[in-house]
Homo-oligomer: A and B are copies of this chain.
């Protein structure tokens, strides 16, 4: 293993000079710089991460806490994680992958040990046990998701309230009057991961203004659960002509069931999905959807975290404006005639 000292000797300068060449924290003459850089090349030198962390008390590592739950079908999580990792690298940071398993202890361990300089938390619950720790540590952090109390925190999320409202508007504009929301699995509501509730709130309040009637039903993914849920909805509100689906794994089942019952999409019923674009375009009907911008969320989280690490950057809530893309699954409500 090549060390700084060896590089210094090879280049005929002192160790500190090499260090300054590497960090750029002091000016170095062009000649010396080149000599040092050549030596680094020739010897294949890589600074030792541990030594660097010890001496500078910065590890150049960002911790990313992902939810443990593999029960939910969550490509979005992976997409965010990859976006975070890729983006962090462009700022010279590596990403440490933590699962939710350790819970708040992981936060203590990571901040306490100086393993990471900062952290990003995904899948934040409304009243998350990790938040008090984050508030009292001076380690920068960014949440992806929105807890109930955001004071003293930086959060990045899709504006799910506006997303709900957008869905309501789109359906109202098309003349629908009775709409149903296929929500996430009950477990999601029980965990109080805010996004589902915020979507619903946004959708409900806009619907009230627009005169839409809304029926909300949580739904596990899969065909059986969807069949049951759909039957109940149509039983209670036979005139339902618009569906907003938040649970990704209920989308395809819903489409299949509607087809099976002879209800044409979008002629008889309209369907809006809240899902990544990829899912919307690959479904059996090209879905009108509000995209979940996974990449963007990952990118923004990193940007804000870096800003905090560099001193500027304040606590704030960053909500990404939702965008509704009209595809082939929504159309005018069938005339009552």
Please indicate which of the listed interface residues A66, A108, A249, A282 has the most CB atoms of chain B within 10 Å of its own CB: A282
Among the stretches A25-33, A78-86, A145-153, A158-166, the one at the interface with B is: A78-86
Say yes or no: is A37 at the interface (Cβ < 8 Å to chain B).
no
Within 8 Å by CB of A49, from B114, B223, B281, lies B114
- Say how many copies of this protein the assembly contains: 2
Q: Which residues of B contact A79 (CB under 8 A)?
A: 70, 74
Give the residues from 80 to 123 in chain A that come closer than 8 angstroms, CB to CB, to chain B. 81-82, 85-86, 89, 94-99, 101-102, 108-109, 112-115
Say yes or no: is A140 at the interface (Cβ < 8 Å to chain B).
no
Q: Given A97-B85, A113-B48: A74 and B73 within 8 A (CB)?
A: no
Q: Which residues of B contact A74 (CB under 8 A)?
A: 75, 78-79
In the bound complex, do residue B112 and residue A85 qualify as a contact, i.e. CB atoms below 8 Å apart? no
- The answer for the CA separation of A109 and B92 in the assembled complex, in Å, is 12
Say yes or no: is A253 at the interface (Cβ < 8 Å to chain B).
yes
In the bound complex, do residue A44 and residue B112 qualify as a contact, i.e. CB atoms below 8 Å apart? yes
Say yes or no: is A261 at the interface (Cβ < 8 Å to chain B).
no
Q: Which residues of B contact A45 (CB under 8 A)?
A: 112
Give the residues from 273 to 296 in chain A that come closer than 8 angstroms, CB to CB, to chain B. 278, 281-284, 295
Say yes or no: is A332 at the interface (Cβ < 8 Å to chain B).
no
